[in-house]
Structure 1
Amino acid sequence: MRGTSWWSRGQGRGWLTRARARPRGTRHRGDTAGLTSATEPETIAETIAETSTAAENGFAVLEKVLALPVSTWRYSWEEPHVRHLGPMAQDWWAAFGLGGSDTTIACADANGVALVSIQALHRRLAELQRRVDALAPQRGEAVPPEGNAPPAP
């Protein structure tokens, strides 16, 4: 199994998961957070197989992210010096209702929430920049060309 990759298809769920086997001589200590002998899981969405797709309101998702409790923690089997940063799965489930249960956070869901939040922040920042640019002539300032960062103070 050394260096082996394998793929499994979710039954009609439109995703594939690839996991690479652990190198020989290493043992599973339970530190993969529910991933069975996988060290690099990848989720691939198949557009043709996805069902019930809907656009998300990025600003609404962003508000949920802002209200989400985030803390440092460690798994009970890890050494005391090991720390992780993130939300608890129960809080994630209560905020977003994503995934299959309130005991895990799927990487695909965390990635999706992060990406839609980044998009919302970008839209908010672009709108604020437009407002600042509109006020610049009133203050006797030159408007920076589109796509350029404002000059440093």
Structure 2
Amino acid sequence: MAVIPLANSELVAAAWLAGADGIEAGQVATTLPADSTAWAANGFVHVVGVAGGSPQLHYALREPVVQVDAYAVNPNSGKAPWGKASSLFELLVAATYDEDRMHRTLALPAGYPQARVMTAHFMSEPRRMPGDDSSYARYSGDLSIHWISL
């Protein structure tokens, strides 16, 4: 019996965030690329994983809380570019106030069914995460995203 790929909260969150105004193609993923020079110009959005939430009991509405991190790096300096990381995160926050981005169908990776995000909002203010040995600037926040698989 073949395994049928099903949508999951990490893929849905990544697809939804990737459509935010100001976010470039390939700038959002569930894994932070090891080569920081590939994303140094614009920063990177890492969908870390599900941090909480729960699915509905009687119908197929998922309501996870997903940890989202925004990274910035300056490869030519040991100084973390906090302003760039903060500005990147604020693009994500702004997307949650854009009503046109709600109730729309998302295309997930090949082989996965489509999904629809009903609502999305951050449950926390962006948090500065200091102390990175590689001089990355990182902001983190918790995104509540309500979605269904189609």
Normalised-by-shorter TM-score class: under 0.3
Higher normalized helix content (fraction of residues): 1
The higher-RCO structure (CA 8 Å, 6+ apart) is 2
Report the structure number with the largest CA radius of gyration.
Answer: 1
Q: Normalising by the residue count of structure 1, what TM-score does the alignment of the two structures yield?
A: 0.25
Higher normalized strand content (fraction of residues): 2
Q: Normalising by the residue count of structure 2, what TM-score does the alignment of the two structures yield?
A: 0.25
